[in-house]
Amino acid sequence: MTLKTLSAVSGMAIVASTAALAEPQAEVLHYWTSGGEAKSVAVLQEEFAAGGGTWTDMPVAGGGGDAAGTALRARVLAGNAPTAAQIKGPAIQEWFEEGVLADISAVAEAQNWAEVLPEAIAAHMQCDGTWCAAPVNVHRVDWIWANAEVLAANGLEMPTTWDEFNAAAETLLAAGIIPLAHGGQAWQDATVFEAVALGILGAEGFRKAFVELDMDTLTSEEMVAVFDQMRTMRGFVDSNFSGRDWNLATAMVMNGEAAFQIMGDWAKGEFIAAGKVPGEDFLCLSTPGEGFLYNVDSFAMFEVDGQDKQDGQALLAELVVGESFQEVFNLNKGSIPVRTDVSLDNFDSCAALSSADMAASNESGSLLPSYAHGMALRGAQAGAITDTVTAHFNSDMSSADAVQMLADAIANSL
Ligand code: GAL
């Protein structure tokens, strides 16, 4: 019996049956391999084992998940899909359209996901009226992280405008400190770019450009200014930035070699895993500008044969949305719980800021999906933007040429 057939059965029955059958299996493909990420995924492995399951780990190193995406595609094409994989955003719908995802509606209904998840997030997890993915967390992308001691020693505060950021960076350069810890990988370039774009275009401009792909916005003077700021920031990274992993860039901020990093709050997971304290050792603030770029990790299950695997999928889906996992995992991961009913009492000040800003952005219409982390666009369009961003960042291309390349790349990808 497949999960699809099972979903016709009462939701409660399937959750109970996972314990009764007692041998759930799951081979889980994910890209959580850094220090903080490994600690986080270990929480899930422990809960899975405690639920009677056997976990087969398939980690594919590579921040942002590009390598994991390639490995997943190869597995599915070879007819050997993993039981579960870390995929998110529109990619969930793309996999669903290929007819390879399992239906986890039975668990979702039994656990009342529709009630405990924010509507916008629930929508990402639903395919054609069924539940096709289980959400794990809410990561915020538009963050600046800083070494508290380095800022204090140089008489600097967290920047609240891009001009302040540039001025602080000049001061740091003069003091012989690397202003911006950055890893030259396409997805990291895209992460910085979308934070800059949110600040300069504003929330509405960001939505028009990176959700609606509005050509007027993509080719506007403001977009030229976004690339100008990227060019300025190219001058704030060290000469060894190419290819550097994001967690090594975080380590540069931790050890005071660099002052700032612009990265999603999985970076906080690294600081925490290293025993650093927010507000004391490191500082967090949203990047200059209004709005909130969200990035929701999730697991989708693939159609697989075998009751043990299907039970593993049900157990996994049940655990990740469970309250205990939501708290412990997110404390390690740097994100906040995706459920609205999990208390933040044990979370730090950065998480409290994230939660408050998310609620306020939701009210004001500036809660936006991250394009750089696969929440806003399908792969072809997101890839077209990132190719342009990286080509510009790694050359002396003018901002005007970058905007032209952006428009052409988007047009060709549609
Ligand atoms: C993000 C993902 C995070 C984290 C990060 C670095 O796209 O959502 O969970 O893994 O990449 O790999």
pLDDT digits (tens, 9 = 90+) for 345-363: 999 999 999 999 999 999 9
Does ligand 1 have an atom closer than 6 angstroms to the CB of 227? no
> Closest residue (by CA) to atom 5 of ligand 1?
64
Place 5 in a pLDDT band, splitting at 50, 70 and 90: very low
What mean pLDDT is predicted for residues 187-208? 98
Q: Which atom of ligand 1 is nearest to the CA of 246?
A: 6
Does ligand 1 have an atom closer than 6 angstroms to the CB of 30? no
Ligand 1 pocket, mutate which of 31, 141, 187 (most atoms under 8 A from CB): 31
pLDDT of residue 8: 39
Sequence-separated contacts (24+) of 389-392 with Cβ below 8 Å = 389/186, 389/189, 389/190, 389/193, 389/230, 390/186, 390/189, 390/190, 392/227, 392/230, 392/231
The dihedral built from the CA positions of residue 29, 80, 49 and 93, taken in this order, carries a sign that is positive
Does ligand 1 have an atom closer than 6 angstroms to the CB of 297? yes
162 Cβ partners below 8 Å, 6+ apart?
A: 196, 199, 200, 229, 288
CB contact at 8 A, 201 and 191: no
What's the predicted TM-score (pTM) here? 0.94
Does ligand 1 have an atom closer than 6 angstroms to the CB of 217? no
Class of the CATH-defined domain 24-139+295-353: alpha beta
pLDDT > 70 fraction of the chain, expressed in percent and rounded: 95
Does ligand 1 have an atom closer than 6 angstroms to the CB of 142? no
Does ligand 1 have an atom closer than 6 angstroms to the CB of 268? no
CA of 56 to the centre of ligand 1 (A): 20
CA of 5 to the centre of ligand 1 (A): 33
Structure tokens given for 134:
């289980």
pLDDT beyond 50 at 14: no
Structure tokens given for 316:
């996994």
pLDDT beyond 60 at 11: no
pLDDT of residue 315: 97
pLDDT beyond 90 at 42: yes
CA of 220 to the centre of ligand 1 (A): 30
Largest CA distance in the chain: 67
pLDDT beyond 70 at 4: no
Within 10 A of 5 (CB to CB), how many other CB atoms are there?
11
pLDDT of residue 298: 98
CATH 3.40.190.10 intervals, the chain = 24-139+295-353, 143-293+357-413
pLDDT digits (tens, 9 = 90+) for 85-142: 999 999 999 999 999 999 999 999 999 999 999 999 999 999 999 999 999 999 999 9
Amino acid symbol at 182:
H
Does ligand 1 have an atom closer than 6 angstroms to the CB of 165? no
pLDDT digits (tens, 9 = 90+) for 141-168: 999 999 999 999 999 999 999 999 999 9
pLDDT of residue 227: 98
Mean pLDDT of all residues belonging to the chain: 94
Q: Does 106 or 3 have the greater pLDDT score? A: 106
How is residue 157 annotated by DSSP? -
Q: Which atom of ligand 1 is nearest to the CA of 63?
A: 12
pLDDT of residue 22: 56
Sheet holding 282-286: strands in order across? 178-180, 258-262, 143-147, 282-286
pLDDT of residue 271: 98
Cα–Cα nearest to 292, from 264, 330, 268 = 264
pLDDT digits (tens, 9 = 90+) for 378-414: 999 999 999 999 999 999 999 999 999 999 999 999 9
pLDDT beyond 80 at 10: no
Place 263 in a pLDDT band, splitting at 50, 70 and 90: very high
pLDDT beyond 70 at 13: no
CB contact at 8 A, 261 and 145: yes
Domain 143-293+357-413 annotated CATH 1.10.132.20: no
Place 296 in a pLDDT band, splitting at 50, 70 and 90: very high
Does ligand 1 have an atom closer than 6 angstroms to the CB of 337? no
